[in-house]
Structure 1
């Protein structure tokens, strides 16, 4: 069985083609910086390894580029689009509709569309990916795996907002949380590495979108994002946590429309708003060259993460490990260092030599004396999506 997994982020598209159930990767790749003229396209298989810079302004264009390379007569890995049995899609917001993986129908697509206002950077791209994939791979079963599913175990005391009850019961306004597929995968990998399924860990997913989850005995109990992916940590273009009164001030005093506020907080804030750059690699480079805005933004980013570590260590009533994952979490030794500095009180001590080493494997980067393990766990949302998609039909 061949399973193509499409993982659309707010400015990226990752893909992997698996032979299942043996979990063999036939090819893999990614498109980064979607929406820019210098987007990066990566494609690798046994036959070829491509990395090139090109103009890709939309997720639709990105998916068409992926399919073109998959089906290329000389260097592709598919003889026909009919070779694909299942296309597994990451969908960010499932709302109250979806607690598990589902086969995509017209009704499912309509519900995903209806939730787009709650995840404006993601659900529209996820839905577009589904619709394009249906035309390119018409004989394949299309499956949706929701970011919100793993976070359904968060207790009511953590997911309920302190507003009148009817907003939850009638309008389903609550904390949903996101990046659940990644948090699930890396927490399971971390538990296997620790040899302890009854662990207390904090998973820190840092990419263009950023989130943290408190996980106790394999179950999520709290999460930094909320009703939408806008809340919590400072992100590439999203503000993260902000006093709601700022929104009233923007509208009532500064004359912003609600649409302008939505655009401001989702697309013009975060690291982009602080520095003029949304890519952390650019920000780290400029900071090293003395750019004060970039240096401060990095400090703010790490400071916000530290606050959540302290909060989650409290509700977990202890801590066995913190886990860094995703593009920034796996690759930025600087961010990991800034986060772990001055956390001795919690028993977190970083080994800087280990932190500076690069590896594609799970590894511990703490000192021998550190009471809390500091792990770098490469995420593989695509494999997790493939496994869940196949399991849907096995059952």
Structure 2
């Protein structure tokens, strides 16, 4: 099945056309600076690539219109559309075929992810209006975590408040975790039962997966919780928010922007960089702030990995994925070495190699298997479209 996978962000729209049988990507591209002036449209199909500068995308509906018309002009066949939805809220524990009710619920839960849910909902509306015969399927980042144990997802706040405002741990990166869970099962012939996955990119989270089910994850009500990230602070004393407003005079919006866009690696390096690669380079050159940022990053990932293992009363497999997880051997080594007390032992020579695809990098006598597995959320979304359309 040829599926168009769409991922709409606050000011971008990225897409791929994937054949679920062959895994082949026949077209892909992006619309940049949506809702701003001077946009860029990048499109690759049939072996050629083109970049159109200074194109205007006043909204996401115009962006998806440009994409669909370009696909038609290039003769790219589409049999279904899959939409990445960041937040499924309290409604969706699985992907769903879009109808008016589904679309209304995506907008209802949008306050939990306003920069992502609303743009994608607008894209869905356009697709339903212009291509009513094409099935549209929504795939939620939170769905994999939907049924995690109550002890993990419940916040110790007044129950009436939590019930009224639907406050709980929702998590994120669930589509990636589902893909990794399936790959780990394939690679270990089902022997991996208690798996901690480190999805580490500019946004980072960890997940405990026992027998294919989420037992806990590090992101919470929003993606701000958990490990320190590129520009996000991760877990801190929640009273810090009140203190900053009361004593620092910061507004609600200023605190929100500070913790999401001005913290993490960027803050600890003194504003030098939010890129882990640059942090490593600066640390190697003797920059003390960069060294602290790197050490904190590794420490907090390892600490959360141990926390995730606690939810399963153990760990037999540790997986690294996403941009940093797949390409930063120093981060992997630092995390693994800190977890040596749990039986994690890395083959550092293998870890230093730049491998293609998935590979094992645990030492022969390690009690915990260690893998690097490239994630593929787009293929997972395309597969869900085929599954849902076929009624499975």
Shorter-chain TM-score range: 0.7 to 0.9
2:141 is the counterpart of 1:183: no
Deviations 1:223-282 (CA, angstroms, capped at 9, x unpaired): 101111111011222211111110111111111121222222222222233333233333
**Aligned equivalent of 1:237, options 215, 231, 256:** 231
Q: Distance in 1 between matches of 2:56 and 2:386?
A: 31
Secondary structure in 1 aligned to 2:102? Answer: helix
**C-alpha spacing 1:376/1:298, structure 2 compared with 1 (3 Å):** same
Q: CA deviation at 1:182?
A: 0.5
Choose the corresponding residue for 1:290, options 263, 286, 292: 286
Alpha-carbon distance between aligned partners in 1 of 2:361 and 2:53, rounded to the nearest angstrom: 33
1:269-312 per-residue CA deviation (whole Å, 9 max, x = no partner) reads: 22233333233333333333333322221211111111111122
What residue in structure 2 maps to residue 338 of structure 1?
Answer: 334
* Alpha-carbon distance in 1 for matches of 2:59, 2:294: 28
2: CA distance between counterparts of 1:333 and 1:60? 38
After superposition, the Cα gap between the structure-2 partners of 1:222 and 1:392, relative to the gap in structure 1 and judged at 3 Å, is same
- Are the aligned partners of 1:197 and 1:218 in contact in 2 as well (CA < 8 Å)? no
Root mean square deviation, CA, Å: 3.4
| Contact 1:325–1:376 (Cα < 8 Å) also in 2 | yes
CA shift at 1:337, angstroms? 1.7
Deviations 1:314-370 (A, max 9, x none): 332221111111111111112212211232211111222211222331111111121
Deviation at 1:69, TM superposition (A): 9.6
After the TM superposition, which residues 1-395 of structure 1 pair with which residues of structure 2 at under 5 Å, given as runs? Answer: 1-8=1-8, 14-28=14-28, 47-48=47-48, 60=60, 67=67, 70-71=70-71, 76=74, 78=76, 83-131=77-125, 140-196=134-190, 199-275=193-269, 276=271, 277-395=273-391
Unaligned runs of 5+ in 1: none
Deviation for aligned residue 1:139: 5.1
SS in 1 for 2:230: coil
C-alpha distance in 2 between matches for 1:66 and 1:350: 48
State whether residues 107 and 118 of structure 2, in contact with CA within 8 Å, keep that contact through their aligned partners in structure 1: yes
- Tell me: CA distance 1:40–1:265, structure 2 relative to 1, closer, same or farther (3 Å): farther
Distance 1:47 1:265, change over 3 A: same
Per the normalisation by structure 1, the TM-score is 0.85
Aligned pair in 2 of structure 1 residues 342, 177: CA closer, same or farther (>3 Å)? closer
Task: Report the CA distance shift for 1:299/1:69 in structure 2 as closer, same or farther (over 3 A).
Answer: farther
